């Protein structure tokens, strides 16, 4: 592709790729020079030009010599628009999901429902790039825009027609998910998270709302979990833009949840939609899993799915990795669940999901991540202490912080909890202690395959460790 085709000019130089890391620049590259929290990409413009960059996307005041300066007050947005033109075409139907909790489950459930309807579908998010036959881990909820768009274009070349992706607050703020025609966007919920980055809840919500104010197509559909306190803000924004709105949940009007009854391995849902009542046996436990499933159904219906068939397909959903995943059965007969819950609300929801199924105690093992929002640690401790019967505070991903200091902050809220720093020992202790009517919940890391300690990522999988501990009893 010629540079002139991207910039509406007469420049006939060939564009070979896009990069936001100067070390990945090759002859013909368009380089994005952005100011970040730790690194200023403008400092590497000269190195990028020497490496062969033919165009630099940067602020108007940036100094650029030897390459075309594509100046924009918001260079990330300009870079994303150009990259999208370069990497296109993309899957015909794309939907995005934002919110504090539930994004991963919703995009994966949407993919499954599309697949059951006969579509070649994929999802992108925390679990990686997921299709019917493969998964490629990216390690980020939303990868950088170059990786994101190249992956999406690759999926289209492989025949994928339907794509669901997570739109994190970081990704939305940094324009990492631009360029696709987003036919439907979903809002799950909002609770405290990432305040180390956004500063306050107002800024955090504003970042989420950008999915609806700028990314969602003007003729697209907003699917909103109506039972969240912030759902009204999303509803008003979508209506003001003229978007179609679908609300789901107990207060929803499109998919109204009028009944939910826990069963041994799932729950029965009664849903009113389009004047009819539908009975669904969802093979997943917990109120928040019902919420995720209904939001996913809303996205599928918003993009052409038949309502009755979509709701019926909920009965065939498979568990999502690390989301209330039953990892093992202890020798005593107690089930052991692993969940990604790492915020106060998510931890409370996971406990609430399991509590009705525990004839005895609910034993919770959890910690808090280092170099992340410090304010949620004590609150998480309070949630666990208030709602669980036995609490073991352990290490999560301490990163550069002192693990003992992190545990101490959590323990300030978790009075009466046991402290076992080594996560493997903590998991084993919980499983060994569990009686035949108890349930064990291991929270915080979910699907993750490593534990970040300092600059090292040590192999660690909660599910595998739980199975080992259960098998050794």
Q: What is the CATH number of the domain that holds 54?
A: 3.40.1390.10
Residue 102 annotated in ligand binding: yes
Q: CA-CA distance, 123 to 115, in Å (whole number)? A: 11
Tell me the pLDDT band of 266, cut-offs 50, 70 and 90.
Answer: confident
Q: Are residues 98 and 234 in the same domain?
A: yes
Of 372 and 264, the structure prediction assigns the larger pLDDT to 372
Q: Which residues contact 93 (CB under 8 A, 6 or more apart)?
A: 119, 161, 162, 163, 183, 303, 304
Burial bucket for residue 170 (CB in 10 Å: 0-12, 13-18, 19+): middle
Q: CA-CA distance, 107 to 98, in Å (whole number)? A: 10
**CATH code at position 430:** 3.90.190.20
- Neighbour-count burial for 261-284, b at 16+ CB within 10 Å, e otherwise: eeeeebbebebbbeeeebebebbb
Q: Are 460 and 468 in contact (CB under 8 A)?
A: no
The reported pLDDT for the residue numbered 198 is: 45
Residue 99 annotated in ligand binding: yes
Tell me the pLDDT band of 141, cut-offs 50, 70 and 90.
Answer: low
Q: Are residues 279 and 338 in the same domain?
A: no
Q: Are residues 158 and 168 in the same domain?
A: yes
The reported pLDDT for the residue numbered 136 is: 65
Q: Are residues 145 and 260 in the same domain?
A: yes
Q: Are residues 114 and 255 in the same domain?
A: yes
Q: Are 167 and 104 in contact (CB under 8 A)?
A: no
Residue 189 annotated in ligand binding: no
Does 47 score more than 50 pLDDT?
yes
Distance of CA 6 to the CA centre of its chain: 31
356 sits in the region (left: phi over 0; alpha: psi -120 to 50; else beta) called: alpha
Of 293, 316, 339, the one marking the end of a domain is: 316
Residue 401 annotated in ligand binding: no
Q: Which residues contact 371 (CB under 8 A, 6 or more apart)?
A: 196, 399, 400, 401
What is the span of the domain harbouring residue 75? Answer: 3-86
Q: pLDDT, tens digit, for every residue of 347-358? A: 998 999 999 889
Of 59, 65, 30, the closest CA to residue 42 belongs to 59
Residue 236 annotated in ligand binding: no
Of 278, 298, 316, the one marking the end of a domain is: 316
Residue 242 annotated in ligand binding: no
Residue 292 annotated in ligand binding: no
Q: Are residues 74 and 95 in the same domain?
A: no
Q: Are residues 311 and 397 in the same domain?
A: no
Residue 231 annotated in ligand binding: no
Q: Are 189 and 125 in contact (CB under 8 A)?
A: no
Q: Are residues 58 and 112 in the same domain?
A: no
Q: CA-CA distance, 224 to 350, in Å (whole number)? A: 21
Alpha-carbon torsion angle 175, 180, 181, 184, nearest 10:
-70
pTM of the model: 0.83
Q: Are residues 302 and 348 in the same domain?
A: no
Residue 332 annotated in ligand binding: no
Residue 256 annotated in ligand binding: no
Alpha-carbon torsion angle 343, 348, 353, 354, nearest 10:
100
Domain count, the chain: 3
Lowest-pLDDT range, 87-96, 174-183, 295-304?
174-183
Residue 76 annotated in ligand binding: no
Of 221, 284, 282, 286, the closest CA to residue 254 belongs to 221
Residue 85 annotated in ligand binding: no
Q: Which residues contact 222 (CB under 8 A, 6 or more apart)?
A: 184, 185, 186, 187, 212, 216, 234, 235, 237, 238, 243, 244, 245, 246
The reported pLDDT for the residue numbered 221 is: 98
Q: Are residues 21 and 104 in the same domain?
A: no
Residue 101 annotated in ligand binding: yes
Q: pLDDT, tens digit, for every residue of 365-403? A: 999 999 988 999 999 999 999 999 999 999 999 999 999
CA angle 145, 85, 66 (to 5 degrees): 80
Q: What is the DSSP letter of 336?
A: E
Does 77 score more than 60 pLDDT?
yes
Residue 306 annotated in ligand binding: no
Q: Are 440 and 335 in contact (CB under 8 A)?
A: yes
Q: Are residues 79 and 97 in the same domain?
A: no
Q: Are residues 267 and 349 in the same domain?
A: no
The phi and psi torsions of 332 (rounded to 5 degrees) equal -75, -15
Of 207, 314, 220, the closest CA to residue 270 belongs to 314
The reported pLDDT for the residue numbered 473 is: 54
**CATH code at position 216:** 3.40.1190.10
The reported pLDDT for the residue numbered 323 is: 85
The phi and psi torsions of 94 (rounded to 5 degrees) equal -130, 140
The phi and psi torsions of 451 (rounded to 5 degrees) equal -120, 125
Q: pLDDT, tens digit, for every residue of 190-212? A: 874 544 554 566 677 788 888 99
Residue 191 annotated in ligand binding: no
């Amino acid at each position: 592709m010629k540079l002139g085709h991207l910039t509406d000019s007469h420049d006939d130089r060939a564009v070979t790729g896009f990069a936001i890391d100067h070390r990945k620049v090759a002859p013909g590259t368009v380089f994005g020079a952005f100011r970040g929290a730790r690194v200023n990409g403008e400092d590497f413009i000269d190195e990028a030009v020497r490496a062969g960059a033919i165009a630099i996307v940067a602020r108007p005041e940036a100094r650029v010599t030897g390459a075309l300066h594509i100046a924009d007050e918001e260079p990330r947005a300009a870079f994303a628009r150009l990259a999208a033109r370069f990497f296109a075409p993309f899957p015909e139907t794309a939907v995005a999901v934002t919110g504090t909790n539930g994004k991963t489950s919703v995009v994966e459930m949407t993919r499954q429902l599309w697949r059951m309807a006969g579509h070649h579908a994929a999802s992108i998010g925390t679990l990686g790039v997921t299709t019917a036959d493969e998964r490629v881990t990216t390690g980020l909820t939303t990868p950088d825009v170059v990786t994101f768009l190249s992956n999406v274009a690759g999926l289209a070349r492989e025949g994928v027609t339907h794509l669901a992706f997570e739109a994190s607050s970081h990704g939305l703020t940094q324009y990492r998910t631009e360029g696709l025609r987003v036919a439907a966007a979903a809002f799950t919920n909002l609770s405290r998270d990432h305040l180390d980055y956004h500063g306050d809840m107002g800024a955090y919500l504003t970042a989420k709302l950008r999915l609806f104010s700028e990314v969602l197509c003007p003729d697209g559909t907003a699917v909103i979990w109506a039972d969240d306190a912030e759902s009204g803000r999303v509803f008003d924004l979508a209506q003001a833009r003229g978007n179609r709105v679908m609300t789901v949940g107990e207060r929803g009007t499109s998919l109204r949840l009028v009944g939910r009854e826990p069963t041994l391995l799932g729950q029965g849902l009664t849903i009113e939609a389009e004047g009819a009542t539908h009975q669904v046996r969802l093979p997943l436990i917990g109120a928040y899993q019902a919420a995720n499933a209904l939001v996913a159904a809303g996205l599928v219906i918003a993009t052409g799915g038949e309502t009755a068939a979509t709701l019926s397909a909920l009965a065939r959903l498979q568990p999502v990795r690390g989301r209330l995943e039953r990892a093992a059965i202890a020798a005593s007969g107690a089930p052991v669940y692993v969940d990604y819950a790492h915020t106060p609300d998510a931890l409370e929801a996971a406990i609430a999901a399991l509590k009705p199924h525990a004839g005895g105690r609910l034993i919770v093992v959890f910690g808090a991540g280092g170099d992340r929002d410090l304010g949620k640690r004590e609150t998480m401790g309070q949630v666990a202490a208030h709602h669980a019967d036995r609490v073991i505070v352990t290490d999560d991903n301490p990163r550069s912080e002192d693990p003992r200091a992190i545990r101490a902050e959590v323990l300030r809220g978790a009075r009466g909890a046991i402290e076992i720093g080594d996560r493997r020992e903590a998991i084993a202790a919980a499983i060994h202690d569990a009686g035949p009517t108890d349930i064990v919940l291991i929270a915080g890391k979910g699907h993750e395959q490593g534990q970040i300690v300092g600059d090292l990522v040590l192999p660690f999988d909660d599910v595998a460790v739980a199975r080992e501990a259960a098998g050794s009893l």
